[in-house]
Amino acid sequence: MGKKPLTCKVRVILRRETSFYGPGVEELLICVRRSGSLRKAAEMTGIPYSKAWKMIRSAEQGFGFPLLYCEQGGADGGGSKLSPEAIEVMDGYSRVVKAVTDSLDASFPEYRERIGRLRSERGE
């Protein structure tokens, strides 16, 4: 019976008193950028629209500035657009995630090897 190799996964979460920005909000904003609509972005990510709004409001409160500019429905159906600050947040977050991932990728093989040696020493 072969065992799958040991892997490691991390999530980068921004927080103050509570968490307010991470992979979920990031994905939601990416989908808003693609679709031009928070409602469509919520559908794309499988998140209820009301929860998507709560996530955006929480992130905006955490950062202290708006992430979305929204227009109510009407003849054109309304829509949502990322603020310039949201674009900067997303760019910076991507760089932080890459740095963390690169560091993990560089250090984890040594740890995995160490765990393998411990298993071998136990005869497993």
- 5 lies in some domain: no
- 43 lies in some domain: yes
- 83 lies in some domain: yes
Give 21: exposed, middle or buried? Use CB within 10 Å, 0-12, 13-18, 19+.
Answer: buried
Is-contact 40 31, C-beta < 8 A?
A: yes
| Residue 27 lies in domain | 20-121
- 46 lies in some domain: yes
DSSP notation for the chain: -PPPPP-------EESSSEEESHHHHHHHHHHHHHS-HHHHHHHHT--HHHHHHHHHHHHHHHTS-SEEEE--STT--EEEE-HHHHHHHHHHHHHHHHHHHHHHHHHHHHHHHHHHHHHHTT-
- 10 lies in some domain: no
- 42 lies in some domain: yes
pLDDT tens digit sequence for 6-49: 888 889 999 999 999 999 999 999 999 999 999 999 999 999 99
- 6 lies in some domain: no
pLDDT tens digit sequence for 47-90: 999 999 999 999 999 999 999 998 876 555 678 999 999 999 99
- 100 lies in some domain: yes
- Domains in the chain: how many in total? 1
CATH value at residue 55:
1.10.10.10
